[in-house]
A = this chain, B = another copy of it.
Amino acid sequence: MIGDHAELLLANETFYEAFAAGDVASMDGLWAREAPVACIHPGHNALIGREAVMESWTQILSGGGAEGFHCEQPQASLTDGAGFVTCLEVMGGHKLIATNVFFKEHDRWHMVHHHAGPVA
**A13 CB to nearest chain B CB (Å):** 17
- Confirm or deny: A2 has a beta carbon within 8 angstroms of a beta carbon on chain B: no
Q: Which residues of B contact A73 (CB under 8 A)?
A: 46
A35 within 8 A of B: yes
Q: How many copies of this kind of chain does the complex include?
A: 2
Give the residue of B36, B40, B42, B86 whose beta carbon is less than 8 angstroms from that of A77: B36
A30 within 8 Å of B (CB atoms): no
A40's partner among B44, B82, B99 (CB-CB below 8 A) is B99
| A1 located at the interface, meaning its Cβ lies under 8 Å from any Cβ of chain B in the complex | no
* B-chain residues with CB within 8 Å of residue A103 when the two chains form the complex: 79, 82
Interface size of A by Cβ–Cβ distance < 8 Å? 35
Is A43's CB under 8 angstroms from B119's CB? Answer: yes
A37 CB–B CB distance under 8 Å? yes
The docked-state distance in angstroms from the alpha carbon of A59 to that of B19 is 37
Per the 8 Å Cβ criterion, residues 83-120 of A in contact with B are 83-84, 86, 88, 97, 99, 101, 103-104, 112-113, 115, 117-120
